[in-house]
Amino acid sequence: MSSEIRFESLSSLCSLMPRPQLVTGIVVSWLRQHFSQTPNIEDPKLEKTLWAADISKTGIVIDSVYRWQPALTESRPGVFIKRGPWRVLRLGIDDRKMGSMPISGNRHYLTAYQGSHSIFCIAGAPAEAEILAAEVFRELVQFGPLFRQTFKFLKFQVTDVGEVSLLEEARENFVVPITLAYAADDAWEIAPRVPILKHVRLSAFL
């Protein structure tokens, strides 16, 4: 089977990246695309587990973890995304970009962020949760390089696929967590309102 993912509809968000909530939204949209068409799905056991915008008709729930309700996954699997902490990695003194100052007097800055997201694959049986997690992590691994290139991340990769466990918040639901780790840089410019040399006064004393 061949899988297809289109980031074109999301590329307009590039100007706002990197932001934690945007990464959440992009991963949600990405996985919804994957599960919206049968040809995208690798495992035949999941071919009928198709995502639909209508919550009453969808075969799988894919959303931010903050919108998860136990009733949503009682009769169908679910994939929920939660962001982890972000760290600021200082690359220079005061985040300043090293080098000579341009003649305009504008100040250039550069820093980097290191962050993570957790993806929870939930199903009614341990084997089903494992199958769903395998489908999700392979999708993220295979299209990770395209994601990194499109959204200009320095790194984007799956680092962990956790073991299956009973989900305490829901009856007879099992979960497999997947961890994404990534890094991005951020550059900006500050233009002073008054030029460095606003005026020069010359006077002669006679």
Kind plus residue range of the DSSP H or E element containing 128: helix 126-150
CA 158 from centroid of its chain's CA atoms: 11
Length of the chain: 206
pLDDT of residue 11: 57
- Tell me the Cα Rg of the chain: 23
Residue 142, helix vs strand vs coil: helix
Q: Could you state, in order of their start, the residue ranges of all structural domains in the chain?
A: 8-86+116-183
pLDDT of residue 190: 83
* Beta pairing partners, 69: none
pLDDT of residue 75: 85
* Tally of CB atoms within 10 A around 101: 12
User: 199: buried, middle or exposed (CB in 10 Å: 19+, 13-18, 0-12)?
Assistant: exposed
- By the 8 A CB rule, do 87 and 18 touch? no
Q: Which two tokens stand for residue 152?
A: 């200009």
Nearest to 108 by CA among 122, 85, 123, 92: 92
Mean pLDDT by 10 residues, the chain (206 residues): 60 68 92 94 94 94 91 89 92 67 70 94 95 97 92 93 86 91 88 60 52
pLDDT of residue 110: 85
Topology of 8-86+116-183 in CATH? Alpha-Beta Plaits (3.30.70)
Report how far residue 162's alpha carbon sits from residue 85's, in angstroms, rounded to the nearest whole number. Answer: 18
Q: Which two tokens stand for residue 43?
A: 């495992």
Report how far residue 159's alpha carbon sits from residue 122's, in angstroms, rounded to the nearest whole number. Answer: 19
pLDDT of residue 206: 46
CA 101-110-104 angle, to 5 degrees, is 25
